[in-house]
Amino acid sequence: MKNRYSKRELILQGTPTSPGIAIGPVYIFKPLTINLSELEIKIDNIEAEFRHFDRARKSVLAQLRYTRLISEEHYGDQFTDIFDSQQAFLDDPVLIEEIREEIARTHHSAAYAVSKILSEKSEHFIKLENDYFRERAYDILDLKQKLIHALLGISIDYHLSSPAVVVAEMLSPADTVQFNRNFILGFLTDRGGKTSHATIMARGLRIPSVVNDAGLSRIIGKQDFLIIDGFEGHIILNPLEETLQKYEKLQKNYKHYEQGLTKQAAKEAVTRDGQKIELLANIEFLQEVGDVKLNYADGVGLFRTESVFIERETLPSEEEQYEIYKKLAEQLNPAEVVIRTIDLGGDKLLKGYSDEEEANPFLGWRAIRFCLDRPNLFKRQLRAILRASAFGNVKILLPMISTLREVQLTKQLIQQVKEELKKEKVPFNEKLPVGIMIETPAAALLTEQLALQVDFFSIGTNDLTQYVLAIDRTNNRVAKSYNTYNPSVLRLIADTIIAANAQKLPVTLCGEFAAQPEAVPLLIGMG
């Protein structure tokens, strides 16, 4: 360990992606990378190259199935969907045909065709605005490397013989699982983000993780000693003794805090007068189910379905949606899962449906208005949710309601879908609860009437606050006046709770306000 003192201490800043403090020697994970120019080999026998590609593809699929089994054996089903999605990508007949066509057209090797086609696909994802979809580029790059390694007969060494901080340019979900969990102290990578699959897994496994895009994996050596701070993003290379002592103390304190928090989180939240308070998670992706379970949430209070739709070349089929909602329901059963229908428009656009620019998109063609104007698209989603309701405690949530008519029209569509499913003898929960978001002033003022039409309310404090106060919370000039504690907002929240209680309807509340500990006594006091 003396090497850590013989070199100059270097302090750098990265992006924290998984909380915790990691302290230890470095393990450089550097799978062999091949440049496209090195693969530009002309081949004579195209059919033989097709077979070579198919063998490699099947080999990678077998690797993924094996990794999935390892993951399932050690961590349950919380990460299996990640490997399922990678297998589905490699099984895509369109992708297979694209690579075969590239081989036939150029007479280049299968490795060259794989590198070219998958590099183009990853570049497409990198250009997307949505963080989650942009980070799917890393999954594609990972599969590219796996296929090239299989084609060239290259194997990857995951052997860790002692505890270390793993330093890499990029980590895939498979990499994360195949290291010996007992020896991983933390991850430091050049690429990735908070929604990358490897990061989601690191959080699920409680492994500290930091990303730094300065190419540290090429600078840090095997003899270096490292501290990474998954809270602040600090990276300390070869720390001084006083720095080391400081972070060892922080690490110890955090472990004590985490242990205490885990004990508390496992308990029911009950007030002194016996009222149970449910704490539900808001999630956007199926891969976040592990975090829901890890933190002892009572269920999912809002599953945002926009991620199923946006940044795609084609709309998701009913079957694609059904598989996602079904897995969500199964993995969390018997806990409740509230699936919100698509809230598109505003800052979330759907390719092919949102080309016309709107002067005020947040006040325009969005959410329930968009859905009711596109009944076929809406019914496809409703069918998928209803079918998934046979596999768990599912509820439907309607966003951006501002009139009774919107609720009535949606309930008519739901009834139509129910009749269709009955005729098709498809199982579903006939008593599937239907709720609405209270996030417009109009809905908040109509809660007495709306309470007679639905099964539950969910108060969306972010939108409700900005619409009541006529303040765009993303506009720096006026954001300082954005305040959910404003009496006008609090009065509408209180009125909503009173109207719901009168009809014995459950009420949940989401948004930034729900995450403020000081707001909890106020909200409990409101009922």
CATH for 66:
1.10.274.10
What CATH number is associated with residue 454?
3.20.20.60
Q: 46 and 124 share a domain?
A: yes
Instruction: Examine the pLDDT at 1 and tell me if it is beyond 50.
Output: no
Chain-centroid distance, C-alpha 130: 11
Average pLDDT (158-168) is 89
**DSSP character string of 363-407:** GSS-HHHHHHHSHHHHHHHHHHHHHHGGGSEEEEEE-S---HHHH
Lowest-confidence segment of 23-32, 260-269, 329-338, 395-404 by average pLDDT? 260-269
pLDDT at 345 over 80: no
Residue 398 lies in a domain: yes
Q: How big, in percent rounded to 5, are the helix, strand and coil portions of the chain?
A: 50, 15, 35
Q: Is the pLDDT assigned to residue 56 strictly greater than 80?
A: yes
| Domain-located, residue 105 | yes
Same domain, 290 and 204: no
pLDDT of amino acid 424: 97
Same domain, 178 and 297: no
| Residue 462 pLDDT | 87
Do the domain assignments include residue 255?
no
- Does residue 210 lie within any of the structural domains? yes
Q: Is 194 helix (H, G, I), strand (E, B) or coil?
A: coil
Closest CA to 302 of 197, 224, 402, 397: 397
174 versus 522: the higher-pLDDT residue is: 522
Same domain (yes/no): 369, 411: yes
Q: Give bridge partners of residue 23 from the DSSP assignment.
A: 227
First to last CA, the chain: 57
The first and second tokens of residue 497, run together, are 């709770």
Shared-domain flag, residues 424 and 316: yes
Single out the residue in 152, 183, 215 at which a domain terminates: 152
Tell me the two tokens of residue 383: 């069918």
CA distance 514 to 458: 12
d(CA 194, CA 16): 8
pLDDT averaged over every residue in the chain: 86
Residue 355 is predicted with a pLDDT of 46
Q: What does the block give as tokens for 231?
A: 């809270």
Q: State whether 162 and 141 are in the same domain.
A: no
One domain, residues 59 and 137: yes
53 and 162 in a single domain? The answer is: no
For the segment 458-499, what is each residue's pLDDT rounded down to a tens digit?
A: 999 988 998 999 887 656 577 678 889 999 999 999 999 999
For residues 236 and 9, the answer to whether their CB atoms sit within 8 Å is yes
Per-residue pLDDT, 454: 98
Q: Which of 306 and 448 is assigned the larger pLDDT? A: 448
Can you give the three-state secondary structure of 403-439, one letter per residue? Answer: CHHHHHHHHHHHHHHHHHHHHCCCCCCCCCCEEEEEC
Overall residue count recorded for the chain in this entry: 527
Give the integer Cα–Cα distance in Å for 508 and 485: 18
Q: Which tens digit of pLDDT belongs to each residue from 4-25?
A: 446 789 999 999 999 999 999 9
Residue 37 has pLDDT above 70, yes or no: no
Higher pLDDT, 444 or 257: 444
Counting residues of the chain whose pLDDT is more than 70, the rounded percentage is: 89
For 261-327, give the DSSP string. HHHHHTS--B-TTS-B----EEESSGGGHHHHHHTT-SEEEEEETHHHHSS-SSPPPHHHHHHHHHH
What is the structure's pLDDT at 348? 47
In a domain, 90, yes or no: yes
Q: Do 310 and 426 reside in the same domain of the chain? A: yes
The active-site residue out of 197, 234, 256, 371 is 197
Higher pLDDT, 358 or 308: 308
Q: What integer is the mean pLDDT of 292-308?
A: 88
Q: Which residue has the tokens 């014995």?
A: 504
Would you say residue 2 has pLDDT above 80? no
pLDDT digits (tens, 9 = 90+) for 216-245: 888 898 889 999 999 999 999 999 999 999
- Counting beta carbons within 10 angstroms of the beta carbon of residue 204, is it exposed (0 to 12), middle (13 to 18) or buried (19 or more)? buried
C-alpha 447/C-alpha 444 separation (Å) is 5
Q: Which among 141, 149, 134 is positioned nearest to 171, based on CA atoms?
A: 141
Long-range contacts of 431-435 (CB under 8 A, 24+ apart): 432/385, 432/386, 432/389, 432/394, 432/395, 432/396, 433/395, 433/396, 434/395, 434/396, 434/398, 434/410, 435/338, 435/395, 435/396, 435/397, 435/398
pLDDT tens, residue by residue, 449-464:
999 999 999 999 988 9
Bond into 334 cis (ω within 30): yes
Beta bridge partners, 22, equal: 228
Residue ending a domain, choose from 431, 463, 479? 431
- Residue ending a domain, choose from 152, 170, 205: 152
Same domain (yes/no): 139, 70: yes
Say whether pLDDT at 363 is over 70: no
| Residue 455: inside a domain | yes
Question: Quick one: 20 and 46 in the same domain?
Answer: no
Q: With helix as H, strand as E and coil as C, how does 457-499 read? A: EEEEHHHHHHHHHCCCCCCCCCHHHCCCCCHHHHHHHHHHHHH
Count structural domains, the chain: 4
Give the mean pLDDT of 49-72: 86
Res. 371: pLDDT tops 50:
yes
Spatial CB neighbours of 198, under 8 Å, sequence gap ≥ 6: 138, 170, 171, 172, 173, 175, 176, 187, 189, 192
371 is catalytic: no
C-alpha span between 526 and 494 (Å, rounded): 6
252 in a structural domain: no
197 catalytic per annotation? yes
Phi, psi of 10, rounded to the nearest 5 degrees: -125, 125
Do 141 and 187 lie in one domain? The reply is: no
> Taking residues 102-120, what's their average pLDDT?
91
Q: Binning pLDDT at 50, 70 and 90, where does residue 178 land?
A: confident
Is 254 among the domain residues?
Answer: no
Helix (H) or strand (E) holding 145: helix 136-152
| 467-483 per-residue burial string, b: 16 or more CB within 10 A, e: under 16 | bbbebebeeeeeeeebe
Structural domain including 108 reads 36-152
Name the least confident of 150-154, 206-210, 434-438.
150-154
